[in-house]
Amino acid sequence: MSEARLARFPVAVLPKRLLDTRRHDRRAIQVSPLLTQCAGLDVAGALALLKTRPVGLTSEEAAARLLEHGPNVLAKDQRPSVLNLVWHAILNPLVILLGVLSAVSFATKDPRAGTMMVAMIILSVGLRLIQEAKGSRAAARLKAMISVKATVHRDGAVSEINVSQLVPGDVVQLGAGDMIPGDVRVVEAKDLFLIQGSLTGESLPVEKQPLEQSPPPAAPLELQNVAFLGTSVESGSALALVVATGKDTYIGGMAQSLAEREPETAFDRGIARFTWLMIQFIAVMVPLVFVINGLTKGNWGQAFFFAVAVAVGLTPEMLPMIATVCLSKGAVAMGRKKVIVKRLNAIQNLGAMDVLCTDKTGTLTLDRVILERHTDVALRESEEVLAYAYANSHFQTGLKSVLDRAVLAHDEAQARACITAFTKVDEIPFDFQRRIMSVVVRTQEGQDRLIAKGAPEAIFARCANFEIDGKLVPVNDVQFAALKKEYERLSRDGFRVLAVATKEGEPRGIVAGDVTPYGKADECELTLRGYVAFLDPPKESAGAALKALQGHGVSVKVLTGDNELVARKVCKEVGLATDFVLLGDDMEKMTDDELVHAVEKTTLFARVSPAHKRRIIEALQSLKHTVGFMGDGINDAPALHSADVGISVDTAVDIAKESADIILLERSLLVLDEGVLEGRKVFANILKYVRMGASSNFGNMFSVLGASIFVPFLPMLPVQILANNLLYDIGQTAIPSDSVDPDQLQKPRPWDLKELTRFIVFIGPCSSVFDYTTYLVLLFVFGCWNRSTPEIAAHSQSLFQTGWFLESLLTQTLIIHIIRTGKIPFLQSRSSLAVAILSVLVMATGVALPFTPLGPYLGFTTVPLFYWPFLALTLVCYALLTQGVKTLLLRRRWIGL
């Protein structure tokens, strides 16, 4: 995981190795002194210090503070300035190489070549700047659709605003699933537990309380009344005072102390390897060409400039621009299809994804959970069980799940009436280890009653009795087995089942030094009361969506916290095979190696925890799969970070949205499938340029070496090579808008350097064959060997150079249409209109150049009339040969197009 994760705001689950404060310079990373002061004051003192009040700031005060402190974002989230965009575009090895070569040309008094190289730099950098600026604006518009909100008190009212608009002095409400929107001082709290492992490495939630701490502890992270940006609420609720925002936060200072680089994808690494491969080619070729031409021609000055021009010709200077434009266009196209891209480089991973791990709720099902049954242990309808479940859901302050909402939506007067008979005493928040949520209420008789609701197997393990027909019956293993069979009948019918249990006790007071009189240890010796059963019908579109993803080479694996029986039934109804099922308890007993062998064939993982999900993803990645994970809950954040591409929905909790790379505006696998196809289009178009540039350069190496050895003059003037390269580059600028054949989208295409090497080795020399035939025809048919007088020699040289320029430019432009598809070009597959028009314009410009006033300036002359039929025949033969070699490679499956 890259340090760049640190720069995303708000930060979700950051790697411990980055955020362990012991690894950073304490002088560079400081907690705001104001935050420490607030921690040592009581609530009234903290509010006074921030010049605010319990009802929050006014809009006017907030606006003034926003101007003073700036937006509540970290550096990476701010839109880049023009200077940053320019610097980013220039700081590229290919552009730097061109700049050095142009400087050398001007220094050695070759302004034509220097000017041509400057024009190429302007073309590459300029187009990239324009597209990056457009992409930045489009990304800002798209991200605005998924911006994280904060619930804030302003003007005496409660409202939701973007977290970027928060300022010191704001009073915010926090609930389960919320990200902490800044460094805050807790003002009020009820069972507030935070996940702050991203800062401390702790695996367990930490409770926060509003009491002042004086003197404060030496380690800022040990402050019990302070919460930091980058952490999240697991359970409970609170009011908090915002003390520091943006770069003034603890994690903001840490972000500035680290290199802020985007995490590299496999595609990024492949592009980098290709770039340096081209530079290595140049490092070998240029000195060789210089020495050969110097020795054979005797003019070392000309040889030097020719070698410089060859270096430029071998430089794929348009690659950064092509990649940027492809990614930007892809992001905008995906946005139109309700897929929002938060990180551009994630587009390629989405296209390369071959395994999708997802929960079933809302993905395979409608996410409209209905409470269908409320029964005793004998599966007879029970109003008492419903009343207990209703009280549990009503009194809890944590994030209410879809099951809680279904219970509360159940229109039963008796269930609602029970609330008036209870007074809440305490609650024991849900966590994914226990899988139980409990509340403690005081009855009208003055007794405390603990009401627990959770996974049946978790409740069973804590029960000493069960109730049937008004009698309490002690349980043993045999009876529990019988009870398990009863609730499994509901599961087999597709119901999601929760067990309900209670425990009576004497009332307790507040324990000294502890504001929570009840804890997890009290969830014992329970009495099982019965079950509540929910139905979440499958989506009608789920089956078609699964077939579409599988047809595009993406296998779907379901990771759910539900039990095996419910998950099997849903999977069966949507057409997903469940021949192999793995349970979370079984995973616990497996070594990593055993899990790696199991995950490949398993399609359903049931009763899994957040840690299990992460292990599954990492096991799949170890098998060289590109793994996507789709989740929307608090428990999904670790898996979203571990996956190659994290996918969430705009209705997800804050921590899930901020952990994801891709956000779906509609929770549908069909929408995701559309996004996958767009990702593959982006990859296909970038790969077109890479293949064209690499194969063309490889062929040019042989052509230039041969011409340097046996042609008695420079085969092409340096300025002509540069003009050829500039026109070819212009023709390539339309590649990002090119159409992609449907068969190129049928399966994931990860970066494959071996396949690219085979393509270069076989396709590249095809151009050299016709370069050499052109040399021979120009030398022996058109008499370019003739150097009997200086005038004839000059004309022969100019004719040869013009003839090769035309053949080289036209064949390079034509090859675009052959390499872009695995089919027969022009007949079975046609390029986009933009590519076709630019190809025609480039070829027409090249043909017209010798006849224009610019022709003599560039050293061109008109070619004989008979040369044009020869050139036309060369183009036809070249197209046929390249198409034949390409078809042979495809049939042998040595390459894939």
Each residue's pLDDT tens digit, 548-603: 999 999 999 999 888 888 888 889 888 898 889 999 889 989 999 999 999 999 99
DSSP structure class, residue 717: -
How far is residue 394's CA from residue 390's CA, in Å, rounded to a whole number?
6
Token duo for residue 831:
């390029």
DSSP structure class, residue 430: -
Per-residue model confidence as pLDDT tens digits over 219-229: 677 788 999 88
Has residue 18 got a pLDDT over 50? no
Helical (H) or strand (E) element with 227: strand 226-227
Q: Provide the 3-class DSSP secondary structure of residue 21.
A: helix
Q: Which amino acid is at 329?
A: K
Per-residue model confidence as pLDDT tens digits over 725-779: 888 888 888 898 899 999 888 888 777 778 888 888 899 889 999 999 999 999 9
Q: What pLDDT, on a 0 to 100 scale, did the predictor assign at position 202?
A: 56
Look at residues 438, 462, 467, 464 and name the one whose alpha carbon lies nearest to residue 451. Answer: 438
Q: Which of 59-63, 443-447, 584-588, 608-612 has the lowest mean pLDDT?
A: 608-612
Q: What pLDDT, on a 0 to 100 scale, did the predictor assign at position 214?
A: 64
Q: How confident is the model at residue 20 (pLDDT cuts 50, 70, 90)?
A: very low
- The more confident residue out of 889 and 135 is 889
Q: What pLDDT, on a 0 to 100 scale, did the predictor assign at position 884?
A: 93
How does DSSP assign 784-830, residue by residue? TT--SSHHHHHHHHHHHHHHHHHHHHHHHHHHHHHHT-SS-BTTTB-
Per-residue model confidence as pLDDT tens digits over 227-255: 988 788 877 788 999 999 988 888 776 55
Q: How confident is the model at residue 79 (pLDDT cuts 50, 70, 90)?
A: low
Mean pLDDT confidence for 837-853: 94
For the chain, what's the residue count?
897
What lies within 8 Å, CB to CB, of 331 at 6+ separation is 135, 138, 139, 142, 341, 344, 347
Has residue 513 got a pLDDT over 50? no
How far is residue 679's CA from residue 257's CA, in Å, rounded to a whole number?
33
Q: How confident is the model at residue 78 (pLDDT cuts 50, 70, 90)?
A: low
CB atoms within 10 A of CB 318: 25
How far is residue 408's CA from residue 426's CA, in Å, rounded to a whole number?
19
Q: Does residue 315 contact residue 97 with C-beta atoms inside 8 Å?
A: yes
Distances (CA, A) of 118 to 49, 85, 325: 58, 19, 21
Has residue 320 got a pLDDT over 80? no
Q: How confident is the model at residue 539 (pLDDT cuts 50, 70, 90)?
A: confident
Has residue 22 got a pLDDT over 50? no
Q: Which listed residue (110, 191, 359, 644) is catalytic?
A: 359
Mean pLDDT confidence for 8-35: 46
Q: What pLDDT, on a 0 to 100 scale, did the predictor assign at position 565?
A: 86
Q: Catalytic annotation on 632?
A: no
Q: What pLDDT, on a 0 to 100 scale, did the predictor assign at position 787?
A: 78
Mean pLDDT confidence for 653-667: 80
Q: What pLDDT, on a 0 to 100 scale, did the predictor assign at position 806?
A: 95
Q: Which of 3-7, 202-206, 315-319, 628-632 has the lowest mean pLDDT?
A: 3-7
Q: Provide the 3-class DSSP secondary structure of residue 583.
A: strand
pLDDT above 90 covers what percent of the chain? 32
Per-residue model confidence as pLDDT tens digits over 788-832: 788 888 899 999 999 999 999 999 898 889 989 989 998 899 999
- The more confident residue out of 667 and 214 is 667
How far is residue 833's CA from residue 856's CA, in Å, rounded to a whole number?
33
460-486 per-residue burial string, b: 16 or more CB within 10 A, e: under 16: bebbebbbbeeeeeebeeeebeebeeb
* Side-chain half-sphere CA neighbours of 232 within 13 A: 29
Q: What pLDDT, on a 0 to 100 scale, did the predictor assign at position 103?
A: 83
What lies within 8 Å, CB to CB, of 447 at 6+ separation is 504, 505, 506, 507
- The more confident residue out of 13 and 247 is 247
How far is residue 312's CA from residue 756's CA, in Å, rounded to a whole number?
22
Q: What pLDDT, on a 0 to 100 scale, did the predictor assign at position 869?
A: 95
Mean pLDDT (the chain, rounded):
83
Would you tell me the crossing angle of helices 300-313 and 718-732 to the nearest 10 degrees?
A: 10
Output phi, psi for 290, to 5 deg.
-60, -50
How far is residue 746's CA from residue 751's CA, in Å, rounded to a whole number?
16
Q: How confident is the model at residue 12 (pLDDT cuts 50, 70, 90)?
A: very low
Q: How confident is the model at residue 143 (pLDDT cuts 50, 70, 90)?
A: low
Q: What pLDDT, on a 0 to 100 scale, did the predictor assign at position 789?
A: 85
Look at residues 420, 406, 403, 500 and name the one whose alpha carbon lies nearest to residue 453. Answer: 500
Q: How confident is the model at residue 507 (pLDDT cuts 50, 70, 90)?
A: confident
Has residue 511 got a pLDDT over 70? no
Q: What pLDDT, on a 0 to 100 scale, did the predictor assign at position 10?
A: 35
Mean pLDDT confidence for 162-179: 88
Mean pLDDT confidence for 197-214: 71
Q: How confident is the model at residue 147 (pLDDT cuts 50, 70, 90)?
A: low
How far is residue 616's CA from residue 593's CA, in Å, rounded to a whole number?
11
Look at residues 669, 659, 702, 719 and name the one whose alpha carbon lies nearest to residue 306. Answer: 719
pTM comes to 0.73
Per-residue model confidence as pLDDT tens digits over 686-731: 888 888 888 887 888 788 888 888 888 888 888 888 888 888 888 8
pLDDT above 70 covers what percent of the chain? 87
Per-residue model confidence as pLDDT tens digits over 257-311: 443 445 566 677 777 777 777 778 788 888 888 898 888 888 888 788 778 777 7
Q: How confident is the model at residue 198 (pLDDT cuts 50, 70, 90)?
A: low
How far is residue 255's CA from residue 7's CA, in Å, rounded to a whole number?
6
Per-residue model confidence as pLDDT tens digits over 870-896: 999 999 999 999 999 999 998 888 777
